[in-house]
Amino acid sequence: MASFAFEEEQIKTKVHFGVWGKIIGYALRRWYLLAILAITMLLTSFHDASFVPLLNKAAIEAIRLSQGLPFDAVVIDVQFIFGIRFTVDFWGYGLTLLIGILLRSLCIFITFFATNYLEMSIYVDIRQDGFRRVQELSFSYFDKTSAGWLIARLQSDTSKIADMISWGIIRVVWLVFDLVLTLITMFTVSWQMALILLAASPLIMIIAPYFEMVLLKLSRIARNAFSGYVAWLAESIAGAKTIKTLAIETTVQAEADEIVTDIRNKNFKRTKFQALFHPSVVFVMSLTTAIVIFFGSMFMKTDTTITVATFALYIGFVRAIFNPLQEFAELFGDIVQTQSSVEKIVSLIDTKPQIVDRPDVIAKYGTLFHERKENYEPIKGDIEFKNVNFSYLKDIEIIHDMNLKIKAGQSIAIVGETGSGKSTTVNLLCRFYEPTSGQLLIDGVDYRERSVSWLRSNIGYVQQSPFIFSGTIRKNIAYGKLDATDEEIIHAAKLVDVHDFIMSLPNGYNTELQDGGSELSVGQKQLISFARAIVRDPVIMILDEATSSIDTETEVVIQKAIKDVLKGRTSIIIAHRLSTIVDSDRILVMSNGKIIEDGTHRELITAQGTYHHLYMNQFAELKVEEQIETYETQIAGIVD
């Protein structure tokens, strides 16, 4: 069983903050929101860091000076920053505070609204870019990437990043404004006191980030231990029967004890540290306050301008300086936690599709999303493989020096054992992959001279396992040609002999299909995907083992359909059951990435080579199948 040595190495891996540039770019697209936010946050910080503290300081001083005077006679002398100075009475003071708080509330409202808007916009933009990239990427990308991975990127990672970046920007800007305005206010009131406070604060500057970093690391260790446990648990429960057959329950139980203890210890370590965080912070803050009071009072003796109110103000400043620093440490933790999501999303968005058109080809034929169909040449359907070599992976060649000419309108069948390169050959023809060397010519022109869309719009390709989209049958067929009329759709369905079946459904062509068409048989799905391929009236038609998992009766129907449908088209059929292809114009036999036989059924049978051998084997098999079928019918008759 897998060990549970959760790699602590992983925790130390270097983080590349460069990827954030791309994400910040998404925020900068909404520069006007950022501008609004800068203003509202500046006003809010100004209110909190300067306006209220200075008004309060003035009020406290005024109260001290005006003891015994009537209420109305109190004069509050406010010394503002940047040399601004004004006097108000008590009513004026109250009114000023009221207006201030109202403005602040308005700013907060706008800030939250704009930030949420920013978050949504970033979310939508990243997701759209990611999804667009998924559309552009070539087959090879999906060989390596699971659907689950992509969905996780486009869903949870994207929302995590949008949340992080929008609120992160707000927090940074806010915190910088707060700090700067606090410093300005501090130095305006008394630069000496400001210096004393700054001299006392390095402890704070060290303690908060230190705790945050260590906590982050401990949390990661604990989390990794836990996810390792979940994987271990799943494996041991899935393998419960095997564990019993091996009689290793004691060993497994001991392993479980060990893992659980490990998790507990790691969590304990984190919790201990977390519990230490708050008291330490309060301790350091009080210590700083004490230092400010101690040196401040010494200083007060020599400087009479330092009043009690000033003193109170500076004690408040200890917190005003501390909060942003703590916030910043927290923010840093959040950034590190979002790092892996950002790296993954950026890697997706930055992935270059392997199959791309050359710039001059794009100029003429347009892009995938903006086709210039007016420049598309009509296609005849001549195909030529010229010295084509191909490897999926470096150094492992799958197709070796293939030379093959197919005339327009010919029907070709490819047979050969599993893994011989049949699908690869048609994948190359569809330009899902490009030859590693050599050329593929369509109507005598290298297909890289024309766009991918030009080629694909002329090919009808039916895969072994047809994919049914959720939606109506009509829509499913129309995916083959988005602007297909009802007549065209019905014509296609009739050609492949599925029209009667569709009409037998209560809602006919408007029948809603769900969940990959689970309410249809494989054969029916097959026929619908045939209709989808045929509705675009492709010049080249490719069927890759399209009938291999279908029962014999349905196959007869499909065979009949295929024959009608393929008339006048260049067609390539990869067949498992040789009975499907006996009357093709040419049969190619592949083995190990090479065409080893090429001829008509009659020619190949006469040659007595591989094809003859394959055919005879299947023929024998067919006999057995037929025998079983007859036998089953007889049994059924008896039981009835």
Ligand X SMILES: Nc1ncnc2c1ncn2[C@@H]1O[C@H](COP(=O)(O)OP(=O)(O)O)[C@@H](O)[C@H]1O
User: Which partner from the list ligand X, Mg ion, none does 421 bind, CB cut-off 5 to 8 Å by kind?
Assistant: ligand X
Residues paired with residue 542 on neighbouring β-strands, in sequence order: 461, 572
- Least Å distance, CB 600 to Mg ion, is 23
Minimal CA–CA distance to 48: which of 56, 36, 60?
56
- 393 is a site residue for ligand X (CB under 6 A): yes
Tokens of 576: 């498992």
Euclidean distance between CA atoms 567 and 572, whole angstroms: 12
Site string for Mg ion, 405-434 (x = CB under 5 A): ------------------x-----------
Tokens of 348: 């997706």
CB atoms within 10 A of CB 377: 12
User: Cβ closer to ligand X: 174 or 432?
Assistant: 432
- 520 is a site residue for ligand X (CB under 6 A): no
User: Cβ closer to ligand X: 416 or 480?
Assistant: 416
User: Which partner from the list Mg ion, ligand X, none does 418 bind, CB cut-off 5 to 8 Å by kind?
Assistant: ligand X
Euclidean distance between CA atoms 105 and 102, whole angstroms: 5
User: Cβ closer to Mg ion: 415 or 496?
Assistant: 415
Which of these segments, 2-10, 38-46, 382-390, 418-426, binds ligand X (CB under 6 A)? 418-426
What stretch of H or E contains 530?
helix 522-535
User: Which partner from the list ligand X, Mg ion, none does 411 bind, CB cut-off 5 to 8 Å by kind?
Assistant: none
- Least Å distance, CB 143 to ligand X, is 4
Instruction: Please identify which residue in the block is written with the tokens 């990661």.
Output: 220
Residues paired with residue 461 on neighbouring β-strands, in sequence order: 542
- 146 is a site residue for ligand X (CB under 6 A): no
Which of these segments, 15-23, 417-425, 483-491, 612-620, binds ligand X (CB under 6 A)? 417-425
Site string for ligand X, 334-373 (x = CB under 6 A): ----------------------------------------
Q: Are 196 and 302 in contact (CB under 8 A)?
A: no
Q: What is the CA radius of gyration of the chain?
A: 38
Contacts of 240 (CB under 8 A, 6+ apart): none
- 591 is a site residue for Mg ion (CB under 5 A): no
User: Which partner from the list Mg ion, ligand X, none does 426 bind, CB cut-off 5 to 8 Å by kind?
Assistant: none
Minimal CA–CA distance to 177: which of 285, 48, 54, 79?
48
User: Which partner from the list ligand X, Mg ion, none does 501 bind, CB cut-off 5 to 8 Å by kind?
Assistant: none
- Least Å distance, CB 579 to Mg ion, is 18
- 435 is a site residue for ligand X (CB under 6 A): no
- Least Å distance, CB 402 to Mg ion, is 16
Q: Are 306 and 296 in contact (CB under 8 A)?
A: yes
Contact pick of 121, 267, 423, 464 for ligand X (by CB under 6 A): 423
Residue 495: alpha-carbon gap to chain centroid: 40
Phi-psi region of 592 (alpha: psi -120 to 50; beta: other; left: phi over 0): left
User: Cβ closer to ligand X: 340 or 403?
Assistant: 403
User: Cβ closer to ligand X: 338 or 425?
Assistant: 425
At 626 the three-state DSSP class reads helix
User: Cβ closer to Mg ion: 307 or 423?
Assistant: 423
Minimal CA–CA distance to 383: which of 437, 425, 433?
425
Which of these segments, 380-388, 414-422, 438-446, 505-513, binds ligand X (CB under 6 A)? 414-422
- 419 is a site residue for ligand X (CB under 6 A): yes
User: Which partner from the list Mg ion, ligand X, none does 339 bind, CB cut-off 5 to 8 Å by kind?
Assistant: none
- 36 is a site residue for ligand X (CB under 6 A): no
562-569: long-range pairs with CB below 8 Å, 24+: 564/495, 565/495, 565/496, 565/530, 565/534, 565/541, 566/411, 566/541, 568/409, 569/381, 569/409, 569/538, 569/539, 569/540, 569/541
Question: Helices 249-302 and 202-238 sit at what angle, rounded to 10 degrees?
Answer: 170
User: Cβ closer to Mg ion: 161 or 413?
Assistant: 413
- 420 is a site residue for ligand X (CB under 6 A): yes
Which of these segments, 86-94, 292-300, 412-420, 606-614, binds ligand X (CB under 6 A)? 412-420
The binding site for ligand X (CB under 6 A) comprises: 143, 392-393, 398, 416, 418-424
Q: Residue numbers of the site for Mg ion (CB under 5 A)?
A: 423
